[in-house]
Chains A and B, each alone.
Chain A
Amino acid sequence: MSEKTKDFIFKTWIIISTVIVFTVVIYIFGYIFKNGIGSINLEFIFSDPKGMPIGSEGGVFPAIVGSLFLMLIACIFASILAISTSIYTVFYCRSKRIESIIHLIVQSMAGIPSIVLGLFGYTLLVLHLRLGRSLLSGGITLGIMIFPYIEVRVEKTLREVDKAIIGSSYALGVSKAHTISKLILPLCKADIISAITMAGGFAMGASAPIILTAAVIFAPIPKSLFAPVMALPFHLYILTGEGISLEKAYGTALVLIMILLIINITSVVLNMKRRDDR
């Protein structure tokens, strides 16, 4: 086969793959939009689920708020740990062995099935630590799930900071801790926030970790960290799984996907902004 034909086949294959992916994504969005838009109105977004069985009428407001709260707690919990871990691996860890062990652990964490994480959260947080089925238990479980995603990206960002700039700070006699908090982290801010938002979106869409740890079929907007919550993906799961209302299920899915879209676009915009700055 001539180089020219090979080149042509390769190019065609790449273009076809891209087209397939695009079509699938657009089809999913379009399908959910078409089926869900009918049930979406202000009342659906801003009222409690009603009816018997619950969810067959009314809206999803407590689930929207619950999901946002879960995401917030997961992000706070995961980002504190992830940022510290990456700072340690990049700037303090002197042993290559420890560094590769950390990487191995982080990668393994990313590979844990989310239902297993849910089971872990249920045993440790809900039962042993007696946090109950609550916003806090669910948030922490989701936090464990997104931790590796944030860690990997933050670590990459920290490594990309120009060594010469860091060296200039040390050369002024400025300590490592001050250099990290006043020079390096501010430089990486946009990218770190982008990583956290992206991971937050991932947490928000996950249902397996919260089935056992946080979500319930009906709860009002939580007043404390120890209250159980409603969440969009779980609500969707119940509406379909129990055959309550397919129409409302599509509505819920559309709301969820819209929120995720907003979150992901924010993340991408932040990431682009950071590239412009440099």
Chain B
Amino acid sequence: MDILKINNLFASYGDKEVLKDLSMNIKKNKITAIIGPSGCGKSTLLTALNLMIEENGGNFAGEILFKDKDILSYEKNDIRRMIGIVFQKPTPFPFSIYKNLTYAPIYYGTKDKKELNNIVKATLKEAGLFHEINEDLNMLATKLSGGQQQRLCIARALTVKPEVLLLDEPCSALDIKNTQNIEEMLLKFSQDYTIIIVTHNLAQAKRISDYTAFILDGELIEYEETEEMFTNPKDRRTKEYIEGIYG
């Protein structure tokens, strides 16, 4: 089943057109990787999907359907709750770990202390952080290591129970061990969430994704099952990129 349908999407920042006539459908509970050289519009595509593009001063034309309904017909904040995003640079709030994870649930009306504790525990376990931090929930989130901060941000995105999780090069600032942690975590998540991950790292796309989309200069060049894409690319440009000809 397709949870997201993107039809003829154009996106731009001011005069600069970043995405040109992009159409693709995203399968539910699968991991879709988006690859392409820097500045090709990968991140813009992600930010369009949960309307964060507006906060960054961009806009888009075309149609994005979430569960067969135009995302613009939802409340902006509802869309962002259902389609969560994790950015490239870890952005923990400079509060305690506990406060990072209760921030959004409290906003959505969860007041019961016990329920909040459960959310914190559950999401920390999902992100594989619970034991690492020795259950010290009052620790300042900014004191965590880079990898832990990023996993905390993923946990924070999970606290509002999203259906789709967008990840914008979540591992680009992390070492191998932390990258591995996050990859394992994402593989586990795909049972419950639809994941779209933008990555520079082709090996990563190959390791974890079910589908891969290749974008070049704002255009979707090829969108295939990952296996097929990497063994038998149909487009010359995809082949060249995979073989390392473009940056």
Stretch in B19-27, B153-161, B187-195, B203-211 with 4+ CB within 8 Å of A: B153-161
B77 within 8 A of A: yes
Query: Chain B: which residue is nearest A164 at the CB level?
Result: B91
From A162, A172, A187, A278, give the contact of B80 (CB < 8 A). A172
With a cutoff of 8 Å between Cβ atoms, the chain A residues found around residue B153 in the complex are 168
A183 within 8 A of B: yes
Give the complex CA separation of A277 and B141 in angstroms: 12
Q: Assess whether A165 is in contact with B91, with CB atoms less than 8 Å apart.
A: yes
With a cutoff of 8 Å between Cβ atoms, the chain A residues found around residue B56 in the complex are 167
* A-B interface pairs (CB < 8 A), number: 63
With a cutoff of 8 Å between Cβ atoms, the chain B residues found around residue A168 in the complex are 87, 91, 93, 153, 156
Stretch in A61-69, A173-181, A225-233 with 4+ CB within 8 Å of B: A173-181
B50 within 8 A of A: yes
Cβ of A46 to closest chain B Cβ, rounded Å: 44
Cβ of A144 to closest chain B Cβ, rounded Å: 34
Give the complex CA separation of A171 and B91 in angstroms: 11
Give the complex CA separation of A183 and B107 in angstroms: 11
Q: Assess whether B94 is in contact with A187, with CB atoms less than 8 Å apart.
A: yes
B84 within 8 A of A: yes
Give the complex CA separation of A168 and B50 in angstroms: 12
A169 within 8 A of B: yes
B55 within 8 A of A: yes
Give the complex CA separation of A187 and B95 in angstroms: 9
A128 within 8 A of B: no
Q: Assess whether A170 is in contact with B93, with CB atoms less than 8 Å apart.
A: no
Q: Assess whether A183 is in contact with B93, with CB atoms less than 8 Å apart.
A: yes
Interface string of A178-208 (1 = CB under 8 A from B): 1000110011000000000000000000000
From B55, B76, B94, B157, give the contact of A172 (CB < 8 A). B157
Q: Assess whether B160 is in contact with A277, with CB atoms less than 8 Å apart.
A: no
With a cutoff of 8 Å between Cβ atoms, the chain A residues found around residue B230 in the complex are none
Query: Chain B: which residue is nearest A174 at the CB level?
Result: B107
For chain A residues 147-176, which have a beta carbon within 8 Å of chain B? 162, 164-165, 167-175
Number of B interface residues at 8 Å Cβ cutoff, please give it. Answer: 27
Q: Assess whether B89 is in contact with A164, with CB atoms less than 8 Å apart.
A: yes
With a cutoff of 8 Å between Cβ atoms, the chain A residues found around residue B87 in the complex are 164, 167-168, 171
Cβ of B167 to closest chain A Cβ, rounded Å: 12
With a cutoff of 8 Å between Cβ atoms, the chain B residues found around residue A187 in the complex are 94
Cβ of A278 to closest chain B Cβ, rounded Å: 7
Q: Assess whether A162 is in contact with B104, with CB atoms less than 8 Å apart.
A: no
Q: Assess whether B55 is in contact with A170, with CB atoms less than 8 Å apart.
A: yes
Q: Assess whether B93 is in contact with A278, with CB atoms less than 8 Å apart.
A: no
Q: Assess whether A170 is in contact with B80, with CB atoms less than 8 Å apart.
A: yes
With a cutoff of 8 Å between Cβ atoms, the chain B residues found around residue A186 in the complex are 95
With a cutoff of 8 Å between Cβ atoms, the chain B residues found around residue A183 in the complex are 93, 103
B185 within 8 A of A: no
With a cutoff of 8 Å between Cβ atoms, the chain A residues found around residue B93 in the complex are 165, 168-169, 183
Query: Chain B: which residue is nearest A165 at the CB level?
Result: B91
For chain B residues 83-110, which have a beta carbon within 8 Å of chain A? 84-85, 87, 89, 91, 93-95, 103-104, 107-108
Give the complex CA separation of A169 and B81 in angstroms: 11
Number of A interface residues at 8 Å Cβ cutoff, please give it. Answer: 19
B79 within 8 A of A: yes
Give the complex CA separation of A277 and B84 in angstroms: 29
B78 within 8 A of A: yes
Q: Assess whether B52 is in contact with A173, with CB atoms less than 8 Å apart.
A: no
Q: Assess whether B103 is in contact with A170, with CB atoms less than 8 Å apart.
A: no
For chain B residues 50-88, which have a beta carbon within 8 Å of chain A? 50, 52, 55-56, 76-81, 84-85, 87
Query: Chain A: which residue is nearest B55 at the CB level?
Result: A170
Cβ of B96 to closest chain A Cβ, rounded Å: 12
Give the complex CA separation of A187 and B142 in angstroms: 13
Give the complex CA separation of A277 and B93 in angstroms: 13
Q: Assess whether B91 is in contact with A174, with CB atoms less than 8 Å apart.
A: no
Cβ of A94 to closest chain B Cβ, rounded Å: 11
Q: Assess whether B94 is in contact with A278, with CB atoms less than 8 Å apart.
A: yes
Q: Assess whether A170 is in contact with B84, with CB atoms less than 8 Å apart.
A: no
Query: Chain B: which residue is nearest A161 at the CB level?
Result: B94
Q: Assess whether B94 is in contact with A174, with CB atoms less than 8 Å apart.
A: no
Give the complex CA separation of A191 and B76 in angstroms: 32
Q: Assess whether A173 is in contact with B78, with CB atoms less than 8 Å apart.
A: yes
Give the complex CA separation of A171 and B81 in angstroms: 7
Cβ of B171 to closest chain A Cβ, rounded Å: 17
Which 10 residue pairs are nearest across A and B when measured between Cβ atoms? Answer: A173-B81, A173-B80, A173-B77, A172-B104, A168-B91, A164-B91, A171-B85, A174-B107, A165-B91, A178-B107
Can you list 7 contacts pairing A with B, beta carbon distance less than 8 Å?
Answer: A167-B52, A168-B91, A170-B55, A172-B81, A173-B160, A174-B104, A182-B107
Q: A164-B87, A170-B52, A173-B80 are in contact. List 4 more A-B contacts (CB 8 A).
A: A168-B87, A171-B85, A173-B77, A182-B103
